[in-house]
Amino acid sequence: MVKNYKLKTLSLVTTCMILGVSAGASGTAIATEINVGEIEVTATRTQKQLLDVNTSVSVITEEEIKKSGKNTVAEILKDVPGVEVINSGSQGLERVSIRGENPFRTLILVDGQRISEHKSMSGAAILVNVADIERIEVIKGASSVLYGSDSIGGVINIITKKGGKDKVNVDASMSYDSANDGFTENLALSGRINDFSYRLSGSYVDGNDLHTPKGTVKPTDFGQEAYNLYLAYDVTGNITLGAKGEYFDGKMKSADISSDDFYVDIPHWKRKKVSAFIDAIDLSEYLSKVNFNAYFQENEKYMNNHVGAAGMDSIALNTIKTYGTSIQTEWQLGDSNYLIWGASYEDETLNSHNDLTLAPTSMVFIKSNTYIHGTQNTFASFLSLESLIYDDYTLNLGMRYTYVESEVDDYQGSGYIQMGGMTMPYNPETTRGSNHDDKVVFNAGLIYTPNSSSSVRFNWGQGFRAPILQERYIISSMGGSTTYGNKDLKPETSNNFEVGYRFSNKEAFIDLAAFYNIADDYIDTMLNPDNTYTYQNISDVKTFGVELDAFYAFYFNNDASNLKLYTKSTFMRREFNDPTGVGSTFNTNIPALKTRYGIKYHQDFSNLSFDADIYGRSYSERKQDYVGTDSVLTNTYGGFTTAHLDMGLSFGEKRNYFVNASVNNIFDKYYFIDNSLPEPGVSVVLTLGASF
């Protein structure tokens, strides 16, 4: 690798995980450190500042995760600019939305490898225990050039923990959350012995029904257990082999406060994965890095959806098995050019069993059983080039070709209808067939870094999303309604334009971005005359907004203490155009303004550190248009402001013991972030932990 390489870049941060390549799964994993007044990113042994990133990216570090006291990833991401939490009526099964795009258009990666979903009305779930996370990277805006299908809104990449620094490291913690009288326990053993590194961990979460200012919401109890094993061996100074096994099992219940006769019960939702990698660096003057990995992942969901008003119980067992492999190479071409090429292949198989009971009236009873087998195979190839074109100007260019083949090749169904004393055969139809989509997408960006403290960035990126199997072929019964697939659907596409400014020094940090996104051929459901629905390409969306992440710090006592004023804010407007339904509207259930603002205090003593954070969280009101019987109607959801306090002590010679306490919703405000489930009332989270 050329040692005097001057190119300042951020795509090294993001592209090391493209095409499913696991940056976090390699022995030379990217490490992100956030210090007072500066943010540094280290990739492939070359340290880069966040100032040099040509896209909007937020990083949540292990330290921030530890202090948060949260037991779901979505809760940790709640205050990231541009991110919204979708709780779907459950405590243990939140999803996330980036820049107004629903969870289907937000790509979820674990160590650069996707969590897939092909039979859901809500998108991919984040099936990861927070105690196993080293950091979370949130890439905002259309990112299909870097990451492929589904990343129209952005990407959540969860980097898991690897081996320890010493021969034996032990990490243990326990927390209590009064919002649900829940307990969380975590234990991990890790280390490095010569060229061998390892990590073994186990976690358990047990939460009861949610307490709100207006009482306990039932049923909303949940639980999680997770186990992980990581092994790696440095064959030589620049070649590492490794493998990892992951197991996550969640159980949760979802409620609807508007109805006592609706619930979703998920006795288990399991994610099992095994993966292996080969990572080689500095192979020649030109070839900087080669990464190859392969994995198998099984995602199994067992669910009962009960709607008493419709007399419906829909019991489903859905299993998605994924085989994936990828290769990535990185090339240093002179002093001013860095080229990355990669390719990947994913083979996804869906097996779906469904047992439906439906009694809409006392005179009608329907019973059916179905089995569906489908596949979706994806091949992709990617190129990214960075060039230092003149002094402080860096040009980023990229393109990606993706081929997606989808098929449902087996369907078996049986059932009957009882009506007025008569029994008739009932055979619900699922479309068999196959389709393929291929797409080339591009991006281009320019970074101007006039000095070591600031940068200006311009970026254009394209996004696309291939229809999942459910949207193309499968009949779905959820929430008392029936939705039919459409094998003629086209992929969704988008263009995202962004300009941003970053400033970073010891005292201050500013990350400001303005964006405009145009999306076409949105897949949405269209109401049929018989009150069923069908997926159609019927919508287009225009979204624009401003995101701000900033702080200013005051230092005292020779920097042993500091006081930091900060804000994390988003202003966003989203115009949704559905000519078959609500028409053109800005009432899309998105708050125009969401912000967190507060004061942090840090104090170092000889063997003790104290941290405090008092902050407010404010959302403006939300409005949502929907089609009524004779006209378009509007629901309005009020805005809110809440107050919170976090405190923490780290003590011991190496600050290896800690106690954290959080008081949330201090004034016991009754409020909603989305429509399904109110947020907890005043509550306390207490966490104890040690590392040795």
3 is a domain residue = no
Q: In which domain, by residue range, is 508 found? A: 11-691
Whether cis (ω within 30° of 0) applies to the bond prior to 81 is no
Tell me the three state secondary structure of residue 613.
strand
Is the pLDDT reported for residue 684 higher than 90? yes
Is the pLDDT reported for residue 563 higher than 70? yes
Mean pLDDT, rounded, for 117-129: 82
Is the pLDDT reported for residue 228 higher than 60? yes
Is the pLDDT reported for residue 437 higher than 80? yes
Across 69-96, b (16+ Cβ under 10 Å) vs e yields bbbbbbbbbbbbbbbbbbbbbbbbbbbb
- Indicate the average pLDDT of the chain: 85
Distance separating alpha carbons of residues 37 and 48, to the nearest angstrom: 15
Distance separating alpha carbons of residues 640 and 212, to the nearest angstrom: 15
Mean pLDDT, rounded, for 418-435: 78
Looking at residue 468, what DSSP letter applies?
P
Task: Report the pLDDT value the prediction gives residue 95, as an integer from 0 to 100.
Answer: 85
6 is a domain residue = no
Express each pLDDT in 371-414 by its tens digit: 899 999 999 999 989 898 888 899 999 999 999 999 998 888 88
Is the pLDDT reported for residue 28 higher than 70? no
Tell me the three state secondary structure of residue 131.
helix
Distance separating alpha carbons of residues 474 and 320, to the nearest angstrom: 15
One-letter amino acid at 507 equals: E
Is the pLDDT reported for residue 21 higher than 70? no
Mean pLDDT, rounded, for 191-196: 94
Tally of domains within the chain? 1
Task: Report the pLDDT value the prediction gives residue 674, as an integer from 0 to 100.
Answer: 80
Q: Of 21-30, 36-45, 339-348, 355-364, which has the strongest mean pLDDT?
A: 339-348
Q: How many CA atoms lie within 13 A of 265 on its CB side?
A: 11
Do residues 115 and 103 touch, judged by C-beta distance below 8 A?
no
Task: Report the pLDDT value the prediction gives residue 692, as an integer from 0 to 100.
Answer: 87
Task: Give the bridge partners for 516, in sequence order.
Answer: 497, 544
Cα 560–Cα 562–Cα 565 angle in degrees, nearest 5: 170
Distance separating alpha carbons of residues 117 and 111, to the nearest angstrom: 17
165 is a domain residue = yes
Express each pLDDT in 58-69 by its tens digit: 888 888 888 777
One-letter amino acid at 315 equals: I
Confidence of residue 48 (pLDDT cuts 50, 70, 90): low
Lowest-confidence segment of 76-80, 234-238, 576-580, 668-672 by average pLDDT? 576-580
| Domain CATH for 64 | 2.40.170.20
Mean pLDDT, rounded, for 564-575: 96
CA 649 to chain centre: 30
For the chain, counts of helices (H) and of strands (E): 5, 40
Confidence of residue 9 (pLDDT cuts 50, 70, 90): very low
Cα dihedral value 75, 78, 84, 88, nearest 10: 20
Task: Report the pLDDT value the prediction gives residue 61, as an integer from 0 to 100.
Answer: 87
61-67 long-range contacts (CB < 8 A, ≥24 apart) are: 61/32, 61/33, 61/34, 61/135, 62/133, 62/134, 62/135, 62/161, 63/34, 64/34, 65/130, 65/133, 65/135, 65/136, 66/173, 66/658, 66/660, 66/687, 66/689, 67/611, 67/646, 67/648, 67/660
1 is a domain residue = no
Distance separating alpha carbons of residues 106 and 95, to the nearest angstrom: 9
Residues 6+ apart with CB under 8 A from 30: 13, 16, 23, 24, 41, 42, 43, 159
Output phi, psi for 366, to 5 deg.
-120, 135
Distance separating alpha carbons of residues 442 and 145, to the nearest angstrom: 6
483 is a domain residue = yes
Express each pLDDT in 596-608 by its tens digit: 999 999 999 988 9
Cα distances (angstroms) measured from residue 316 to each of 188, 305, 351: 34, 8, 10
Task: Report the pLDDT value the prediction gives residue 528, as an integer from 0 to 100.
Answer: 82
Task: Report the pLDDT value the prediction gives residue 569, as an integer from 0 to 100.
Answer: 96
Task: Report the pLDDT value the prediction gives residue 3, as an integer from 0 to 100.
Answer: 33
Query: What are the start-end ranges of the E strands in 557-579?
Result: 561-578
Express each pLDDT in 292-312 by its tens digit: 999 999 999 998 888 877 778
**Dihedral sign, CA of 521, 349, 342, 27?**
positive
Express each pLDDT in 464-489 by its tens digit: 899 999 889 888 766 557 788 888 99
Is the pLDDT reported for residue 646 higher than 60? yes
Task: Report the pLDDT value the prediction gives residue 147, as an integer from 0 to 100.
Answer: 78
Closest CA to 327 of 386, 272, 396, 380: 380
2 is a domain residue = no
Q: Output the pTM of the full model.
A: 0.88
Task: Report the pLDDT value the prediction gives residue 580, as an integer from 0 to 100.
Answer: 76
Do residues 525 and 535 touch, judged by C-beta distance below 8 A?
yes
5 is a domain residue = no
